A and B are shown apart, each in its own frame.
Chain A
Amino acid sequence: MSDSGAVSTGGGQPGAAQGQAQIPAPPKKVKLFVDGLEVKADSRNNLIEAARRIGVAIPYFCYHPRLSIAGQCRMCLVETSDAPGRLVPGCQVRVKQGLKVTTNSPAVRDNQRGCMEFHLINHPVDCAICDQSGECKLQDYYMEYDHQPSRIRVYKLNKPKREIFGPMVVYDAERCIMCTRCVRFMDEIAKEPQLAVVDRGSHSLIATFPGQPLDSKYSGNTVDICPVGALLNRDFRFQSRVWFVNKSPAICAGCANGCNVYAESRGNLIYRLLPRRNEEVNQVWMCDEGRLTYHATNENRVEWARTGKGDAAASIAPRIAVERAIELLKPLAGQGGIGVAVSAQCTNEEAAAAFQLGAQLGATHYFLGGQRAGESDDFLIRSDKNPNTAGVRLAAQAFGVKLHDIQAIDQVKALVAMRTDGLLADRLARLEVFVAIAQNEDAASSEAHVTLPCKSLYEQDGSLINWYGRLQRTWESVPAQRADAAPGWSWAERILTGLGASGPKSASSAFRTLAEKSPHLSGLSFDDLPEDGIVLEGLLPSEWPARAPRPGPGAHSIRGPQTTPPDTKVGDEASGGSR
């Protein structure tokens, strides 16, 4: 957050600036009156946030709680007792003891109506073809504050319609209202000033610099905070109207940061991921790479259970596939030479079930699989590209097994893989028995003697532990069933039952098994995990990337939900941006 201290609404980074563990002094409370109603507000609040406390909505386009104040849109002008007869911007003016604010006087109303009229002068008649339709502030505010016919009798200004800004973002200058939220985001949050305002007056528009596309890893956030349809996500563009998708909470599967997201789906397809507010994980942002992780849920899936590989592969009923897996594994059980590979993409429950299965089979080797490490930065992107490495390690510790590197796979003759990420396909061909619980078709799953379709992280209940030890829930965010896919723990349970043992019948019972064995999880119940997760203090790292959001003091405490309600609709509010 840059200059202009007027704004501070739970924004910034909890736990103060980097390296300092000091707890900020509790904010001073002041009492003011909004439309005659008394409000107790934080002395650092501006008028918009103070009014929001009692449910009075002051409209705004350019204000964003996490960005500096621009005062561009003039939509938030209100009357105060400090400046009678004048209008002051609610985004910039701070609260003051005894201040009287009027948000609905004729002058304020008239300004709001006039503002809307000006904003719409050059706005194209695009709602029918605009992705923002349905979550557009112009539409919402027009109906609330203007609702009058156009008085413009001249032609609208023509501007660039589809500027490709970068890999993620496309820009429509005609729809742009020049709120400059995107420019400020790139300057202040992404710290890569790649956008700027060029030209003047009604000809002004947002532009990238010559030869420098908008290729920041956080460019997708500019789309979320764009209050209108000027910046659009190229991945989501023209894929679905926003009112057709169901929004439900999930955890991004892209890296160990475990950003809280909303998955928006229709049927069994996900259409986009949007950040969900969690101050201690991702604030209200997420990276571009994370936004694309849903593609692995939509495409190239193992749909049906099958036996055999190559030409002999045949889709069969799941029950028979499980029987075949037991048939192959039973003679080897307890003989040694059985390995169990657990991917770091697994939920804690899948990992626990895999270790249970390994114990029943008398497995001698356990392997940690997962996606290869990638790029990292000091904000939200971690180099570990798996959402649950910490959780799988914790489960292994709980079950008292040692995790080997995937390279040691040559030491076993039979392998059960809980998810196939990172398995080396050329080393699998020599296995006598290979049972794969796989989400996607890949080189590894095509080597399996029995392949069982696994649900993705967006499709199943479970829990994950992020890089600093935050235990977070995942949900069945995609309601529709895809083919025979089942959670990994369910396949393990079916094999366990076939072997004469018993396994977890639900994610909740798998978690209970794990919690009984792990001191870190003792006393925790799956069904009572709060929506924003809790911090396992024993796992907290000693070093933190400079700007990574971190838990506040009293980390293990269970705090109330701070996420945005799922039925919140308007663009940036949907991403938790301005709440």
Chain B
Amino acid sequence: MEARELLWDRISELCGARVTVSWTRIGGVATDTPPGWEQRLRDCLPRVMELTNEIDTLLTRNRIFIDRTRGIGVISGDEAIDWGFTGPCLRACGVNYDVRKAHPYSIYDRMDFEVPLGSRGDTYDRYVLRLLEIRQSHRIVLQCLEQMPPGPIIIDDWRYALPPKKEVFGSIEGVMAHFKLIMEGIPVPAGEVYVYTEGANGELGFHIVSNGKGKPYAIQVRGPGFPILSALPRLIKGHAVADLIPIFDSINMIGGEVEQ
């Protein structure tokens, strides 16, 4: 809980919200990092890792924990693929699929990190995998801090990115660009596209159909949580009622995403 708060504090410093981030924009991000933010992030990361290690020592070799999770909610790699698993739940079954490695996007080709894999596909593997992924994320964050150059935070092309507020309030050019982007959106060439990224829970994909205008003609979201949650009846089959909680927690359902 303390680790989460430390990270969420950094996020809320960045964009004003703890969970509903909405910070990225087409062509860049909304705001620059506040003064001293990078240092605060560097300062809090060791504590986060310290707490991660604490959880590791508390649980990973804990007899009770192993008894409750090892061999519970097992699913094979092939079956997981059939259910549409992605992310840690799929990799816990030993299937090596990570969008960041399979189809690198953004800056992931410049990052040095490993994709941890499980073997049994049970609740224990899913737990261990998440722990290992926290360590990998730590590596990525540190590399980003190293590589991130100072400079503009968004492209300077008013066809795609909102003009600075000074221009919007003070010049007709700015206010027109702002108006058109907000009211009509960025005209996207007609056609359809599926873009997908690796989210914390798996593949998050958007299928967008454009008719050449500023608003999508159709949009479908492929969230990682829904296929995994739909396999829950299959995962709990044959187990005690008390096992439902560890299984359910290990797939990390996010209500807002599944509910879409």
Most buried by B among A124, A125, A138, A243: A125
| Interface assignment of A83: CB less than 8 Å from any CB of chain B | no
| Interface assignment of B224: CB less than 8 Å from any CB of chain A | no
Q: Give A385 to B159 CA distance when docked, in angstroms.
A: 49
Over the window 49-62 of chain B, the binary record of Cβ atoms lying under 8 Å from chain A Cβ atoms (1 yes, 0 no) is: 00000000000000
Over the window 309-344 of chain A, the binary record of Cβ atoms lying under 8 Å from chain B Cβ atoms (1 yes, 0 no) is: 000000000000000000000000000000000000
Which one of A141-149, A188-196, A554-562 contacts B? A141-149
Q: Give A147 to B181 CA distance when docked, in angstroms.
A: 11
Q: Give A424 to B113 CA distance when docked, in angstroms.
A: 90
Contacting pair B179 A149 (CB below 8 A): no
Measured CB to CB, the closest approach of chain B to A160, in angstroms, equals 18
Which one of B4-12, B132-140, B170-178, B240-248 contacts A? B170-178
Contacting pair B179 A139 (CB below 8 A): yes
| Interface assignment of B158: CB less than 8 Å from any CB of chain A | yes
Give the interface size bracket for A toward B.
20 to 34
Over the window 115-153 of chain A, the binary record of Cβ atoms lying under 8 Å from chain B Cβ atoms (1 yes, 0 no) is: 000001001111110000110001110110011111010
Over the window 269-307 of chain A, the binary record of Cβ atoms lying under 8 Å from chain B Cβ atoms (1 yes, 0 no) is: 000000000000000000000000000000000000000
Over the window 147-167 of chain A, the binary record of Cβ atoms lying under 8 Å from chain B Cβ atoms (1 yes, 0 no) is: 111101000000000000000
Assuming the contacts A142-B173, A150-B171, asked whether A127 and B157 have C-beta atoms less than 8 A apart, the reply is no
B interface SS class: helix
Over the window 158-189 of chain B, the binary record of Cβ atoms lying under 8 Å from chain A Cβ atoms (1 yes, 0 no) is: 11000100010111111111011001000000
Measured CB to CB, the closest approach of chain B to A214, in angstroms, equals 26
Most buried by A among B163, B170, B176, B183: B176
Inside 8 A of A146's CB, which chain B residues have their CB? 173
Contacting pair B172 A125 (CB below 8 A): yes
Inside 8 A of A134's CB, which chain B residues have their CB? 179, 183
Inside 8 A of A120's CB, which chain B residues have their CB? 172-173
Q: Give A127 to B170 CA distance when docked, in angstroms.
A: 12
Over the window 49-73 of chain A, the binary record of Cβ atoms lying under 8 Å from chain B Cβ atoms (1 yes, 0 no) is: 0000000000000000000000000
Assuming the contacts A125-B170, A149-B158, A149-B171, asked whether A143 and B176 have C-beta atoms less than 8 A apart, the reply is yes
Assuming the contacts A147-B158, A148-B158, A149-B158, asked whether A139 and B180 have C-beta atoms less than 8 A apart, the reply is yes
Most buried by A among B163, B170, B174, B177: B177
Query: Which one, B157, B167, B170, B176, contacts A142 given CB within 8 A?
Result: B176
Measured CB to CB, the closest approach of chain B to A157, in angstroms, equals 13
Contacting pair B183 A150 (CB below 8 A): no
Assuming the contacts A143-B176, A147-B159, A149-B163, asked whether A243 and B170 have C-beta atoms less than 8 A apart, the reply is no
Contacting pair B173 A138 (CB below 8 A): no
List residues 503-554 of chain A with CB under 8 A from any CB of chain B. none
Contacting pair A148 B173 (CB below 8 A): yes
Contacting pair A150 B167 (CB below 8 A): yes
Assuming the contacts A149-B158, A150-B167, asked whether A124 and B173 have C-beta atoms less than 8 A apart, the reply is no
Give the interface size bracket for B toward A.
10 to 19
Q: Give A150 to B167 CA distance when docked, in angstroms.
A: 8
Q: Give A128 to B178 CA distance when docked, in angstroms.
A: 11
Contacting pair A123 B157 (CB below 8 A): no
Q: Give A150 to B158 CA distance when docked, in angstroms.
A: 12
Assuming the contacts A150-B167, A243-B183, asked whether A124 and B172 have C-beta atoms less than 8 A apart, the reply is yes
Least CB separation from B214: chain A residue:
A143
Inside 8 A of A138's CB, which chain B residues have their CB? 176
Measured CB to CB, the closest approach of chain A to B183, in angstroms, equals 6
Measured CB to CB, the closest approach of chain A to B125, in angstroms, equals 52
Assuming the contacts A149-B163, A243-B183, asked whether A139 and B173 have C-beta atoms less than 8 A apart, the reply is no
Contacting pair A125 B169 (CB below 8 A): yes
Contacting pair B171 A125 (CB below 8 A): yes
Q: Give A150 to B174 CA distance when docked, in angstroms.
A: 8
List residues 370-386 of chain A with CB under 8 A from any CB of chain B. none
Least CB separation from B181: chain A residue:
A143
Most buried by B among A123, A127, A133, A146: A127
Q: Give A133 to B172 CA distance when docked, in angstroms.
A: 12
Inside 8 A of B167's CB, which chain A residues have their CB? 149-150
Inside 8 A of A133's CB, which chain B residues have their CB? 179
Assuming the contacts A134-B183, A143-B159, A149-B163, asked whether A128 and B175 have C-beta atoms less than 8 A apart, the reply is yes
Inside 8 A of A147's CB, which chain B residues have their CB? 157-159, 177
Least CB separation from B180: chain A residue:
A143
Contacting pair A149 B183 (CB below 8 A): no
Inside 8 A of A142's CB, which chain B residues have their CB? 173, 176-177, 180
Q: Give A152 to B174 CA distance when docked, in angstroms.
A: 13
Inside 8 A of A243's CB, which chain B residues have their CB? 183
Q: Give A123 to B169 CA distance when docked, in angstroms.
A: 14
Inside 8 A of B157's CB, which chain A residues have their CB? 147
Inside 8 A of B175's CB, which chain A residues have their CB? 125, 127-128
Q: Give A150 to B177 CA distance when docked, in angstroms.
A: 11
Inside 8 A of A127's CB, which chain B residues have their CB? 172, 175-176, 179
Measured CB to CB, the closest approach of chain B to A337, in angstroms, equals 62
Inside 8 A of B174's CB, which chain A residues have their CB? 149-150
Least CB separation from B186: chain A residue:
A143
Least CB separation from A567: chain B residue:
B213
Q: Give A120 to B179 CA distance when docked, in angstroms.
A: 15
Q: Give A146 to B159 CA distance when docked, in angstroms.
A: 9
Q: Give A125 to B165 CA distance when docked, in angstroms.
A: 13
Inside 8 A of A123's CB, which chain B residues have their CB? 172
Inside 8 A of B176's CB, which chain A residues have their CB? 127, 138-139, 142-143
Q: Give A147 to B169 CA distance when docked, in angstroms.
A: 16
Inside 8 A of B169's CB, which chain A residues have their CB? 125
Inside 8 A of A148's CB, which chain B residues have their CB? 158, 173
Measured CB to CB, the closest approach of chain A to B27, in angstroms, equals 13
Q: Give A128 to B179 CA distance when docked, in angstroms.
A: 8
Measured CB to CB, the closest approach of chain B to A149, in angstroms, equals 6
Q: Give A84 to B38 CA distance when docked, in angstroms.
A: 57
Q: Give A189 to B183 CA distance when docked, in angstroms.
A: 35
Q: Give A143 to B184 CA distance when docked, in angstroms.
A: 11
Top-6 shortest CB links A-B: A150-B171, A143-B180, A150-B173, A123-B172, A147-B158, A147-B159
Q: Can you add 6 more A-B contacts, CB < 8 Å, to A125-B169, A127-B176, A134-B183? A: A125-B172, A127-B172, A133-B179, A139-B179, A143-B176, A147-B159
- 24 pairs across A/B with beta carbons < 8 Å? A120-B173, A123-B172, A125-B169, A125-B170, A125-B171, A125-B175, A126-B172, A127-B175, A139-B179, A140-B180, A142-B176, A142-B180, A143-B159, A143-B180, A146-B173, A147-B177, A148-B173, A149-B163, A149-B171, A149-B174, A150-B167, A150-B171, A150-B172, A152-B171
